[in-house]
Structure 1
């Protein structure tokens, strides 16, 4: 942001706060998707879940940094389409573009579905009557207006909502932590101690739950070509998300027995089902209310971050300018299709999160690694290079391939699922 002095004092250059960028990343990651984690990871249970979340955080953080490395060689505002087409060719760019649009549209639909479910549950707790469709539609229109305004508006709103979410998080999970039972957390009350057969099925969900990669070009557009500040945003935002995930897994798996998650999964695993299960276990109206408000903040943060990434990507691909009229056209293309799906199928949250995993392996993990390799060959990475060299690129590619294979095996019913 440039501030021009009207006096004889030279203009002062101010860079946006790192906190704002970290909140965009953390807010994008920690959203409604976190409510699917205890359900899909209940077979693996607590210690295995911690190990997989650490692996997913490490690989997705470095794939995001690889996007930054390649992106720095292009103009500010250049998206995946521009970078991938130039470095990897038109064929790969089209495939990557389809995967980006599929994932971001799918996640946008998932959050419309989740927002409708959460707002409906909130209205019920307050004694009001509001359908899931109406709640999701109204909330989506509000998010569309904020995204239409500017990236700065999204950053400020995300900072505000994320701060409220953290406050609600500690109020809620402070109570939940006090009720954690070690026997429940360690699964001592049940004879079934087979965990690792359920490892592979968790990988695509963990990958999707660390999805922030569409926001890396947006951050460079926001901060300029300042790799250290953008890297600080990525590291801080992803670490914050990881910490919140670990506390959430501790609270949920320390209060709900492993066998009880089978019933939650069979009922669709939606947010209101999980909140209801926790509330009934603790028999606490206050915790149920706090969980409800926290879920509202979680959906709002993730919704804003994901749609900002989709908005900027579509603007670059379709060539819409940054004027109010151009942003309105981009907002229409961004929100209209998932809104229609949200009206027709309002309860598709957990299914949408799962299907986003396969495509996410391509554009959030595999493509970034290939971009970093191609960028180093052509430009030599003069501004910034991710540490680890070729072995790090290989590790990220291996993680992406494993997630893709796991999701395909899951779709065909060839993986054991804790249900």
Structure 2
């Protein structure tokens, strides 16, 4: 179906704001989960895997933009999947989207409770409740509010990140960073189990339709997506090198045994840092990263569920959407807290479906549909129009994104059956 797009007379929203939303969604999961998950493959292997995953995940997000361009604004992932792939695929895809969004919100809520407990002595469960009811209100308010808060949080993270990483870089030991005391080829066997975490670290796709609605133009939304994933990659690179240059590989055993929880990582980092002030700065950055991702993921899930359940934009309708978005992950966080890496691992397989496999299938179906439509048109001259938005690379790009998604699922299945080596810190 074709969308009727209003003329763009007003100045479009800032690209910085959109890029910050994407970066904030990515950075929380990545900052908290990547150090422990990448400890097996260590510095060089981890960075190579991140670059590769960033390219794939940026491309798959742009594929969603390509499909959305033929639909009215406020069309969601669910709307286009139902139209192009059918009700059954859409139902399954919706379950996967909600599962990933819910499990990430669950992980952020749990982690926030642990951090608040460590620094303020509040019981983790009570701290998690305060965290949700205070900050989810920003999502309830509006996308614009999250945009503004995301910019503030990103500036705060840049400041604390800069001070923290500069301090860490002064303490970086090259032999620790590169682990020169050991052969590196043996580390390559752990790269496979790292890929599912990298996929989740670049998972922003539930917010693509929101971003497209915000800019009202696919090419602007693409620039925001690319800017956001580049910011995230740069942040991950500096962060991992800072951590791996200070905390020896063998020290990750206790962190991994505790499920990769952020509080355990911070405690381990404190033990090798001489300055308490530096440790506090890094803790502040970690807290901001959790909050920024909580807001970004919460916004994406909020808009997705509003469309799915057809809740309106009145205060009553937004309250209903707020309830189905934030209450279930909060309840599960209170009842079944477990390791951060375990949560991210569960999310990875589901994310591979709707962040890689389904976007590739949607783009292929959309292109076939358009090709058939074009062939049926008569040869009458048409007025020259702006070339429609399309991701370059043809079928090879679609196949590559699809295979990557399938590969993530295969890796997780092999890990479940202990068929792949997993680094345990020894």
* TM-score over 0.5 for the pair: yes
1:236-315 counterparts in 2 under 5 A? 236-315=227-306
- In structure 2, the residue matched to 1:76 is 73
Change (3 A) 1:348 1:337: farther
Change (3 A) 1:14 1:191: closer
- In structure 2, the residue matched to 1:396 is 401
1:10-409 counterparts in 2 under 5 A? 13-123=10-120, 129-190=121-182, 194-224=186-216, 226-379=217-370, 383-409=388-414
Contact 1:116/1:346, CA 8 A, preserved across alignment? no
1:189 deviates by 2.8
1:283 deviates by 2.3
Number of aligned residues: 403
1:3-14 counterparts in 2 under 5 A? 13-14=10-11
Contact 2:33/2:340, CA 8 A, preserved across alignment? no
Stretch moving more, 31-40 or 155-164: 31-40
Stretch moving more, 165-174 or 279-288: 279-288
2:249 alignment partner, SS class: coil
1:386 alignment partner, SS class: coil
1:347 deviates by 4.0
TM-score by length of 2: 0.92
> Of residues 406, 423, 426 in structure 2, which corresponds to 1:418?
423
Change (3 A) 1:281 1:190: farther
Change (3 A) 1:47 1:221: same
Determine the C-alpha separation between the residues in 2 that align with 1:69 and 1:333.
Answer: 29
1:355 deviates by 0.5
Contact 2:29/2:201, CA 8 A, preserved across alignment? no
Contact 1:137/1:339, CA 8 A, preserved across alignment? yes
Contact 2:32/2:262, CA 8 A, preserved across alignment? yes
Q: Deviations over 1:114-162 (max 9, x none)?
A: 1111222232xxxxx2111111111111222111111111111111111
Gaps in structure 2 of 5+ consecutive residues:
1-7, 375-386
Determine the C-alpha separation between the residues in 1 that align with 2:34 and 2:297.
Answer: 18
Gaps in structure 1 of 5+ consecutive residues:
1-10, 124-128
1:209 deviates by 0.6
Contact 2:17/2:147, CA 8 A, preserved across alignment? yes
1:192 deviates by 7.2
Determine the C-alpha separation between the residues in 1 that align with 2:145 and 2:279.
Answer: 31
Determine the C-alpha separation between the residues in 1 that align with 2:256 and 2:69.
Answer: 43
Change (3 A) 1:309 1:191: same
Change (3 A) 1:84 1:314: same
1:191 deviates by 5.9
Contact 1:85/1:92, CA 8 A, preserved across alignment? yes
TM-score by length of 1: 0.93
Determine the C-alpha separation between the residues in 1 that align with 2:70 and 2:235.
Answer: 34
1:195 alignment partner, SS class: helix
Q: CA RMSD in A?
A: 1.5
Q: Deviations over 1:359-415 (max 9, x none)?
A: 000001110111111111123596310011110111111111111100111122221
